[in-house]
Amino acid sequence: VSHSRKGNCYDNACCENFFSHLKSESLELFVPENETELMQQIDDFITWYNFDRPQLKLKGMTPIEYRQTYL
């Protein structure tokens, strides 16, 4: 189910941005050999992205730090 208009990436900009980082910072650098490795690599990237990767848009905090600070 899609909640955005067809062909309009701006409706889903946050997800598009995340997947761009996933591809350029993980999948293009370390190509998984099978589905199990792919799933583990994606899981590791999501954990790293949320807990360890600072975001300029979040005042230099990780998403988890930002959430704990402001919510």
Give the integer Cα–Cα distance in Å for 41 and 12.
Answer: 23
**What is the per-residue pLDDT across 5-59, written as a single tens digit (0 to 9) for each?**
777 767 788 888 999 999 999 999 999 999 999 999 999 999 999 999 999 999 9
pTM over 0.85: no
Beta-carbon contacts of 52 under 8 Å, excluding residues fewer than 6 positions away, are: 62
- Helical spans, DSSP H, in 1-71: 13-22, 35-51, 63-70
